[in-house]
Amino acid sequence: MPLRYSMIRLSGLALLSGAVLAGWLPVAAQNVTPTPETGVTPSTLLLYRADLLSGKETAYEQTESEIVSAYADAKIPIYWSALQAVTGSPHVLYFDGFDNFADIEKSGADLAQGLDAHPEIGSLQQKLADLVAATRTVLAFRRDDLGYRLNKIDLAKASYVRVSIFQFRAGYEEDFAEAVRTRARMYETNDIDTPWMIYQAHSGYSLPTYIEFQPMNSLSEIDDALERNAKVRRPGGASALSAQKWIRDADLNIDIQIYRVSQSMSHLSAQDAAGAGGSKRDSASAARVRKYTVPARP
């Protein structure tokens, strides 16, 4: 079921999560409040992964594009970015960002009101659901202490995103955190300008899980990153994650995928579209107000 439905199902959970992780300021209409330290990276994520039935990729994208148009015509204030898998099995990862968990509940209310007034959208979403083999919904919050040059990240300008999921046995959270901090110090020392943001899963996984996002303008940045990483490796230097003893003890599992930002399946805010003046890609790049709300898919 798409993330749009997940928002409604998770509205009650969002209240509990917001109470546990209180302290973030609310924001209207799913705006992500920028700061000098974090730029426009959202504090809270609602991620929805839709694994597609074999051979249904084109039909899925066409149906989702119809849903995007329907949301725009109905003026439902729910926005999202769709990441289409380049590697791995065919799937779409919806990225929905908020300032806090309470905003997820507000989006759920806006969504329910909009769908009640436009039942035809529900039919389209059911059509989309029929093309999906499996789904996963995850709530996560940003770990500022594990990010690197967050203020240089702007997903609205990215064409691709490298997503790494780290899972391990409970009790090794601080070992993982220290390994990431060590990598950040090494990058900073060598002035490597490859920013990342890391989120800790709050719910949706049975094991401790951290999700790293690295936006890219093109796949050539992978070549650049490999070259830079090779230059900073040296005997006695900071070890790579895979070479550290704690990883063996923690049974660390790393899943890395590359995604293309799909503009046809993403629903951008009016401000985003107005800031473009050209293609959808330009609209995502040039907009002054960024919104990262993903719909709850069927």
User: What pTM was computed for the model?
Assistant: 0.80
Q: What percent of the chain has pLDDT over 90?
A: 49
Nearest in space to 166 (alpha carbons), one of 185, 188, 193, 143: 143
Counting beta carbons within 10 angstroms of the beta carbon of residue 93, is it exposed (0 to 12), middle (13 to 18) or buried (19 or more)? buried
Give the number of other CB atoms < 10 A from CB of residue 279: 10
Cβ pair 52, 131 in contact under 8 A: yes
* Model confidence band, residue 231 (pLDDT cutoffs 50, 70, 90): low
245-288 per-position pLDDT tens digit: 899 999 999 999 999 999 999 987 765 444 333 344 433 333 32
pLDDT in tens, 129-187: 999 999 999 999 999 999 999 988 877 778 999 999 999 999 999 999 999 999 999 99
Residues 131 and 279 occupy one common structural domain: yes
pLDDT, tens only, 91-124? 999 988 888 988 888 888 888 888 899 999 999 9
Residue 282: inside a domain: yes
Domain count, the chain: 2
Domain-located, residue 294: no
118 burial type by CB count under 10 A (0-12 exposed, 13-18 middle, 19+ buried): middle
Q: Are the CB atoms for 44 and 140 separated by under 8 Å? A: yes
Q: What is the CATH number of the domain that holds 46?
A: 3.30.70.100
CA distance 179 to 129: 39
**Is residue 171 domain-shared with residue 229, that is, in the same domain?**
yes
Mean pLDDT of 62-81: 92
pLDDT beyond 70 at 4:
no
Same domain as 159, residue 111:
no
Whether residues 158 and 53 fall in one domain: no
Give me the domain span that covers residue 72: 3-142+262-286
151 and 132 in one domain?
no
**237 within a domain of the structure (yes/no):** yes
pLDDT at 208 over 80: yes
Kindly state whether residue 293 falls inside one of the protein's structural domains: no
Crossing angle between the packed helical segments 119-129 and 57-74, to the nearest 10 degrees: 160
Of the two residues 36 and 116, the one the predictor is more confident about is: 116
Q: How confident is the model at residue 46 (pLDDT cuts 50, 70, 90)?
A: very high
